[in-house]
Structure 1
Amino acid sequence: MCGRYSLFTEEDNREIMRIVQNITARYPENNMKRGEIFPTNTVPVLKAENSQIAADLSIWGFPNFRTKGVIINARSETADEKRTFRESLHSRRCVIPSTGFYEWSQDGTKTKYRFTLPGQNTLYMAGIFNEFKGEQRFVILTTEANNSMADIHNRMPVILPRDKIEDWILTEEFAVPYLHAVMPPLDRAPEERVTTGK
């Protein structure tokens, strides 16, 4: 499960600032959300445009036509079997830039943790997107949690190394097998110790 993540825009985070600036140049009047990101927020994603990687705006969550609300995650193990996700997995992959993601402990304390990559201030998550009634929407792919967070939650986002972003978006032969890759170890900090930035 990944139900919340962060997109902090400190000036020294050049990767995130470059993406935000590209979005602002493309859409001078936009409703891009920063800080703590919730489902249905409009946020940056990276996707293919004319065989190049481009930043675009997208809404987090596919419409849920069976019940109210939105679908925010797709299980990587079964995405290829689900009609809702199959075509997007093969032809509409995206990357969600972030500065970490949140999860809550299940031990009764409900402690909120932010997970990040050690030594890095940017974390890229694998996603898929589609268009619904003229709106571009995405979901985050999840996989079984590794040892660095399994005691907090049994699911985690599919995380992409920076040098594999292009491969994920453009190359199906890389993307589908990568869904079974071992995820990298993560750092975590209780929310009260996290500097939230802008």
Structure 2
Amino acid sequence: MCGRYALIGTPEEVKAFFNLLDIAKFPPRYNIAPTQPVTTIIAGPPREPGSNLPDHIELLVRWGFIPGWAKNPKDLPLLINARSETAAEKNTFRAAMRHRRALIPASGFYEWKRQGGKPVQAYWIKPRHGGLVAFGGLVETYSEPGGSEIDTGAILTTGANEAIGHIHHRMPVVIQPQDFSRWLDCVNNEPRDVADLMQPVQPDFFEAIPVSDKVNKFSNTGPEIQERVEPKSEPASAKKEDRDAGQLDLF
């Protein structure tokens, strides 16, 4: 599950990490929330031999996937995540999984540990050695009845690894730089050809830092929401209850 994340790297750092020719300027974003516009990376147009067109290009999308067949998006739940294990078969995500895979630049994400079904401790989860990370994503262009179009997207999730599992049972799919081109190449690679990339990242990739509940309010957009706090204690009875019942998603 990924309901909030951050992108605090500079445009120049994002440009270099994803090998882009150009990228729009943007300020640090410490608390990116659903329905907000987010930066994604998609495959560039087909290139002629010797062309200087980029392999990958930036696309700004609404975080909240709307499938192309939807008649009234208001009738759908807010689709900010897609389960990687079933995306290729689900009617909602099948076309995007086959034709419109994307990368979502991030500096890390936030997750909430629950107790008795209620969120009690927020965590800022970032690459252990800093820098940027690329989440696997899907994009879809939705045509509104009036004729206008809106680009939308979702973050793919997978089962949590051992380092994150004590906080939440899901985590974003992480695509490594050496796999960017294979992931984005929807012409030559079907979903089955990239299924091996949708696995939990190695346990030592992320570190989880306990933070305050300031991140719950999307109006809190400053770096203070990433400051470490003393984690709240959790009674042993509550731990057993959550293990037995499973953890629910916040969004």
Say whether the fold is shared (TM-score over 0.5). yes
Q: Secondary structure at the match of 1:15?
A: helix
Determine the structure 1 residue equivalent to 2:80: 72
* 1:137 and 2:155 aligned: no
Kept after mapping to 1: 8 A contact 2:160/2:170: yes
Tell me how far apart the structure 1 counterparts of residues 223 and 15 of structure 2 sit (CA, whole Å): 16
TM-score where L is the length of structure 2: 0.66
How many correspondences in the alignment?
188
Residue 175 to residue 32, structure 1, CA distance change in 2 (3 Å): farther
After TM superposition, the structure 1 = structure 2 runs for residues 9-158 of structure 1, keeping only pairs within 5 Å, are: 9=9, 14-16=12-14, 22-24=22-24, 34-51=29-46, 52-63=55-66, 65=73, 67=75, 69-107=77-115, 110-133=120-143, 134-158=149-173
Listed as ranges, the matches of 1:163-182 within 5 Å are 163-170=178-185, 172=189, 174-179=193-198, 181-182=199-200
- Deviations 1:136-160 (CA, angstroms, capped at 9, x unpaired): 1111000011111101100000011
Aligned residue identity for 1:62: F
Contact conserved, 2:106 with 2:135, CA < 8 A, in 1?
A: yes
> What is the one-letter code of the residue matched to 2:42?
K
* Cα deviation digits, residues 58-115 of structure 1 (max 9, x gap): 1111138474652001101111110110111011000000000000111356211111
Counterpart of 1:189, as a letter, is I
Q: Distance in 2 between matches of 1:15 and 1:162?
A: 14
Amino acid paired to 1:184:
Q
On the 8 A contact 2:137/2:156 being kept in 1, the answer is yes
TM-aligned CA distance change 1:137 to 1:88, over 3 Å: same
SS of residue paired to 1:150 = coil
Q: Which residue is 2:223 aligned to?
A: 196
Secondary structure of 2:183's aligned partner: helix
Instruction: Calculate the aligned-residue CA RMSD, in Å.
Output: 2.9
Unaligned runs of 5+ in 1: 26-30
Could you tell me which runs of 5 or more consecutive residues in structure 2 were left unpaired when the two chains were aligned: 47-54, 144-148, 216-221, 225-251
Whether the 8 Å CA contact 1:34–1:43 is kept in 2: the answer is: no
TM-score of the superposition, structure 1-length normalised? 0.82
- The structure richer in strand per residue is 1
Hey, what does 2:174 align to over in structure 1? 159
**How many angstroms apart in 2 are the aligned matches of 1:17 and 1:87?**
28
| 2-structure distance, mates of 1:83, 1:189 | 37
Q: Which amino acid aligns with 1:44?
A: T
1:21 Cα deviation after fit: 9.6
